[in-house]
């Protein structure tokens, strides 16, 4: 198949509008890469550049070692699944799936064979004569996927394909997507702002913000070792607690509680302590650091309660997730932060600092 490579890719519309800046990455055969980030971070722009729908201002795009930077979309042998599905409303399901193959002048017998194979795989065999308006959202999404799969492209591009589905159907189709693309050998680039999709579907995740690549790593590493404050705050639901500490005072307090600062933080005047709500717990005997505060909000999430706690003597809040069988009296609460679960960031640059304590 074909490896996808992006080298120093940038896109500018004006001196003040640059949605993508110096992006370099590669996607191997069979790898599922998700471009993840907030609206306006540059992820859809990247997809459009790969597809050839827009020219880059700078940089190079290679597919299978071939420079396609200036090639037309039809010359790149890619398949794209759009957010809106982009189905022809006047055509049957069969003709929608066959449309790309007909443009490539594939023999009718081969078209029938390929459509029969992919429709059976996607459960569309009884819908071939229907039109898109007669299908549910999930069925239309499968038709769009089928049209991409029969192309047997060098690269698959998917632009937020689940965003128009309701929550229950999105979960179902997400599981189907994982199964479908686990059997493909081409590079897959998936765009979403939904971190659940990114974490469950991907081999690797590229987190973007303001047109810049923040971190490129496996979903597990993105969650457990965020490269900077932005990734730490963006990945994870609920959001990571990020507490600013003045090393002249707060860090002395940490020393009192036997929480060693990492080597990379000892020369800093201000650091950020990051701790995920699921790692903040009710205080236990012998816990080294204790946060005392007042519960101001309790959100019932079913399997757990999400508590927002105002820290005593500080203008900051800490959130914790507690199971329903854990209890506290009144509004006062004491919480503990396990030292091994702390993330440290430079308050000035936002970058992660060394975890080593010696």
CATH of segment(s) 4-233? 3.40.50.300
What does pLDDT average to over the chain?
A: 88
Residues of the chain with CATH 3.40.50.300: 4-233
- The whole-angstrom separation of Cα 88 and Cα 107 is 21
CATH class of 241-346: mainly beta
Q: What is the pLDDT of residue 358?
A: 44
- 320 and 309 in contact (C-beta within 8 Å)? yes
pLDDT beyond 90 at 59? yes
In the predicted model, what is the mean pLDDT of residues 41-47?
A: 95
CA angle 85, 111, 120 (to 5 degrees): 65
pLDDT beyond 70 at 147? yes
Residues of the chain with CATH 2.40.50.140: 241-346
In the predicted model, what is the mean pLDDT of residues 281-300?
A: 87
Q: What is the pLDDT of residue 13?
A: 93
Least confident span in 124-128, 225-229, 252-256: 252-256
- pLDDT tens column, 240-249: 999 888 877 6
Which of helix, strand or coil describes residue 47? helix
b or e along 11-45 (b: 16 or more beta carbons within 10 Å of the residue's beta carbon)?
Answer: beeeeeebbbbebebebebebbbbbbbeeebbbbb
Choose between 23 and 265: higher pLDDT: 23
Q: What is the dihedral of CA 166, 172, 178, 179, to 10 degrees?
A: -150
- 265 and 247 in contact (C-beta within 8 Å)? yes
pLDDT beyond 90 at 71? yes
pLDDT beyond 60 at 58? yes
Q: What is the pLDDT of residue 254?
A: 67
In the predicted model, what is the mean pLDDT of residues 105-116?
A: 89
In the predicted model, what is the mean pLDDT of residues 255-262?
A: 67
In the predicted model, what is the mean pLDDT of residues 68-77?
A: 92
pLDDT beyond 50 at 321? yes
Helix (H) or strand (E) holding 94: helix 93-103
Choose between 286 and 20: higher pLDDT: 20
- pLDDT tens column, 164-216: 777 777 787 788 788 878 878 899 999 999 998 999 999 999 999 999 999 99
């Amino acid at each position: 198949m074909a490896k996808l490579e992006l080298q120093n890719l940038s896109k500018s519309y004006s001196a003040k509008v640059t949605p993508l800046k110096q992006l370099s990455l590669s996607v191997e055969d069979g790898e599922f890469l998700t471009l993840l980030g907030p609206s306006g971070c540059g992820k859809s722009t990247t997809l459009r550049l790969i597809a050839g729908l827009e020219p880059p201002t700078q940089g190079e795009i290679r597919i299978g070692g071939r420079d396609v930077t200036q090639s037309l979309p039809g010359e790149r042998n890619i398949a794209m699944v759009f957010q809106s599905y982009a189905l022809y409303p006047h055509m049957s399901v069969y003709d929608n799936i066959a449309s790309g193959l007909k443009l490539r002048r594939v023999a009718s017998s081969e078209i029938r064979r390929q459509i029969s194979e992919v429709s059976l795989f996607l459960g569309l065999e009884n819908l071939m004569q229907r039109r898109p308006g007669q299908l549910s959202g999930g069925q239309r999404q499968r038709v769009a996927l089928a049209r991409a799969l029969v192309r047997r492209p060098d690269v698959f591009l998917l632009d937020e394909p689940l965003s128009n589905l309701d929550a229950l159907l999105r979960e179902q189709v997400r599981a189907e997507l994982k199964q479908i693309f686990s059997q493909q050998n081409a590079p897959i680039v998936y765009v979403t702002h939904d971190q659940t999709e990114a974490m469950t579907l991907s081999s690797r995740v590229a987190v973007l913000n303001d047109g810049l690549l923040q971190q490129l790593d496996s979903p597990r590493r993105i969650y457990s070792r965020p490269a900077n404050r932005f990734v730490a705050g963006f990945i994870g639901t609920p959001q990571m607690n990020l507490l600013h500490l003045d090393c002249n005072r707060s860090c002395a307090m940490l020393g009192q509680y036997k929480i060693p600062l990492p080597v990379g933080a000892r020369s800093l005047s201000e650091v950020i302590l990051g701790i995920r709500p699921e790692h903040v717990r009710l205080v236990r005997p012998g816990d080294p650091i204790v946060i005392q505060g007042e519960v101001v909000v309790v959100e019932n999430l079913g399997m757990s309660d999400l508590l927002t706690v105002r820290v005593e003597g500080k203008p900051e809040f800490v959130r914790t997730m507690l199971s329903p069988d854990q209890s506290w009296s009144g509004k006062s609460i004491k919480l503990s932060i396990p030292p091994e679960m702390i993330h440290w960031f430079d308050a000035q640059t936002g970058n992660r600092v060394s975890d080593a304590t010696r």
